[in-house]
Structure 1
Amino acid sequence: MPLIRAVTCTERIGSISYQLLVFRINWPFFSLLSTSNRIKISPLCTHKNYRVFVNSSRRKIMVATPVKTKTTGQYYTTRIDLALDIRKAMVEILSQTLAASLDLKTQVKQAHWNVKGLNFYQLHSLFDEMATELEDYGDMVAERITALGGTALGTARIAAANSILPEYPANIVDGSEHIVALAERYALYAAHLRSAIDTTGNQGDADTADLYTEISRDIDKRLWFLEAHLIKSEDVIE
């Protein structure tokens, strides 16, 4: 029997992100079950929007199905006294924040599950608290999107495709390594929030700016908690 392994990856072409479902098959011929019917694919053919690649040995095949990943969804009427173009601009920024919030939450969970070392229990508990907070922030941002008449897009795939954060290192173990990785990502997230405060405030949406200010204040505090584990005497600024 052929060995089949399915993975997903993201490909960006221009301004559009595509989510790719990739099958790697160690067999010269295989059958692929689609949602509508069973499609027979040989190593050198294509079918509709499937793309087939064969390496030099003609033993491994990769089939990629592109699906457009949305960054903002549809809009609805609302009695909020903000012009549609302003609401759309706010939803665009908030959607970036939602993606980053959900992505950061899962990265903190990754640290929570896998941290090891002398400070295991302390960090395990701390990371769990941080992940819970990020869950709340994501919910606050998503509800602001819908309050403005937008659509909150918060699936794991959309978040990963549109997050401003780098991928979390999968093989780190020691607590200090996790702290450094999280501090770097919290700093990026904090910078995004601070920029969003100015952008939303300048657009005249004081409520969204206030939401960003609230989250920013808490994120700075968590970044302080993380960095406090790393500060040494030589880090003093004269």
Structure 2
Amino acid sequence: MLKINNLRAYVENKEILKGLNLEIGKGEIHVIMGPNGAGKSTLANILMGHPKYSITEGEIIFQGEVINELKVNERAKKGMFLSFQYPEEVPGITVENFLRTAKGAVSGKVQNIIQFRKVLKEKMRLLKIDENYAQRYLNLGFSGGEKKKNEILQMALLEPKLAILDETDSGLDVDAVRVVAEGVRELKNEENSILIITHLNRLLEYLKPDYVHILMDGRIVKTGDISLAKEIEEKGYDSIRGQL
């Protein structure tokens, strides 16, 4: 699904990624953890083509195609999705109109209003989101948990091949984490893949990832299973530094 070869990238004249390698297969859930400033969110933004970031070396290969030069919307149409760490509030645009427009843009097909609304209600029930939220302005006045659940609702409707979740669990209470995890698990199948960026173990306990990667100083320095995340929780990142 995704292969990253020796990726080096800058932002504001500072090198953040320093030769990062990663491979994600179809149907897999991968987790990236690391201390603050390690480059986790930078990686997410670069994968989606944020123009603020510059790739100086290496390749991003998505479904067999090098996508280094593709724009954000082109990557989205190919099946990539990024859940924001801090979702934006958009006054004047309802959740339903935003999602219907996004679905049409990504799929290239005009969305029938009645059919789309039926699917939207099904996905909202899955994520335990009140149907009234569909007519509210996008994220305006939403709590942190509501904003994050709305991001997963977008993922449910857009049905991406690769979903990148950037600290979707941060700021959520236990119940909200469970709802988000259940939603992600429902959407996961053998034809898509999920990359989760997180500081916490709570989401991982529900999702049971295939691989956990530790990102430090712009590189992935260790890969393991969920036990690696538990080691970090118990001993911190100094235990990893001591092994390098």
What's the TM-score once normalised by structure 2's chain length? 0.22
> For the pair shown, which has the larger CA radius of gyration, 1 or 2?
1
Instruction: Identify the structure with the greater strand proportion.
Output: 2
Q: More relative contact order in 1 or in 2 (CA 8 Å, sep 6+)?
A: 2
Instruction: Identify the structure with the greater helix proportion.
Output: 1
